[in-house]
Structure 1
Amino acid sequence: MDKELLHKKIKKDIEDLINNHPPERTLGNLIPLSIFQAVRIGVLTAGCGIEAIIYNIGKDIGREVISRYVDRDNLLESFAEILKKAKIGILEVKKVEENEMILILKDCISCHNVPNVGTTLCHFEAGLIAGTLEKKLRRKVNAVETKCCGKGDEYCEFLVKIEDKLYW
């Protein structure tokens, strides 16, 4: 399997979606959210550290794709706009300090309208947040989901830690 070829295709599809040019398909441009969530939850139940893999996929996409569209001077507002355009979720800022943020994501693709399954489900979104912010801030960033609809919460909440060490 050519993993690099798949990454290029995913990158192009996300860029097209952000630029309001979704791929054409006879059955419509998007799959039903419930099908996507069923696949994600099925993968998560496989165990074996799959959460870290999903987080790292999100981090790569955030760093390599989403960050291209985020304005560093208007960081959180433009990030929120891109997440909404890409239909990933509605980002709100709860707290911003020099080395820590608390971000809320509503209507999230991974867990919107799922029942309380007793665990967090948004590893991809956590990685996406970390990767995007890491690239734009040029600092090591880690995001951890502290609230999730999968745990019965009203929305997803992420604790974002920003290290002092500069990258690049």
Structure 2
Amino acid sequence: MAGWIEMVSQIRRPHLGEDVSVLVFRAFRVFMGIYLDDVLGHKGAITLFQNAGRELGKEVGEKLKEESLEAYLGKVIDFVKDARIGILVPVDVNRERLVVALDECITCAGMPNIGKRICHFEAGFVAGIVETYTNKKVRAYETKCNAHGENICEVVVELNYA
């Protein structure tokens, strides 16, 4: 999958431009999740979204790679904000785990409580970012989600998973 960011970044929309509304993004993203849940089952859909997010996170992580954790996290935080994905806030960083909050999440900020967490792609993205830095397989999962009525998204990454 490497190199696909360059491929999809080639945009030729002389009249409509590069920007797309959050509503359109969410319609595509959320309805795809509902469809995959119906076709693959809940666990299959979660796995697919997490794995896709992980691959994107790895590719982005390679582009942002820094020697020091602080510099790397700073670049990741800036990327997430500049790309308007949300505002990434490290909550807890230690040898066992990393906890990050994603405020103003593009996928679900402001949504009503639908009774389930839906940001599995984002959890996978964070996992890929961390795996790029550590060169180790990690486990990541969402523990809070706006769509579950929790007013923020939060991802826990277990660093000693393998």
1:153 corresponds to:
150
Q: Which moved more, 1:141-150 or 1:66-75?
A: 66-75
- The equivalent of 2:34 in structure 1 is 45
What is the aligned partner in structure 2 of residue 34 from structure 1? 23
Confirm or deny: 8 A CA contact 1:142 1:160 kept in the other structure. yes
Change over 3 Å in CA distance of 1:67–1:107 after alignment to 2? farther
Amino acid at match of 1:102: V
User: Taking every aligned residue pair, what percent have the same amino acid on both sides?
Assistant: 31
Is the Cα–Cα contact under 8 Å of residues 105 and 157 in structure 1 kept in the other structure? yes
Q: Deviations over 1:93-144 (max 9, x none)?
A: 1111102011100111111222211111111111110001101111111211
CA RMSD of aligned residues (A): 2.1
Deviations 1:48-91 (A, max 9, x none): 11221111111001112343214241222221111112221111
Three-state SS of the structure 2 residue aligned to 1:45 is helix
State whether residues 145 and 153 of structure 2, in contact with CA within 8 Å, keep that contact through their aligned partners in structure 1: yes
CA contact (8 A) 1:66 1:82 kept: no
Matches within 5 A, 1:50-65: 50-65=45-60
The answer as to 2:110 corresponding to 1:113 is yes
| 1:123 counterpart = 2:120 | yes
Matched to 1:28, the amino acid is G
The normalised TM-score by structure 1 is 0.81
Runs of 5+ consecutive residues of structure 1 not aligned to the other structure: 17-21
Q: Is the 8 A contact 1:58 1:128 kept in 2?
A: yes
State the shift of 1:8 in Å.
4.6
Q: Check whether the contact 2:61–2:132 (CA below 8 A) recurs between aligned residues.
A: no
- TM-score normalized with structure 2 length: 0.84
Segments of 5+ residues of structure 2 without an aligned counterpart are: none
Equivalent of residue 69 in structure 1, options 56, 64, 67: 64
Secondary structure of the corresponding residue to residue 132 of structure 1: helix
Secondary structure at the counterpart of residue 146 of structure 1: strand
Q: Using a 3 Å threshold, how does the CA distance of structure 1 residues 41 and 155 change in structure 2: closer, same or farther?
A: same
2:94 aligned to which of 94, 97, 100: 97
**Which 4+ runs in 1 deviate beyond 3 A?**
none
User: Matches of 1:164 and 1:155 in 2, distance apart?
Assistant: 25
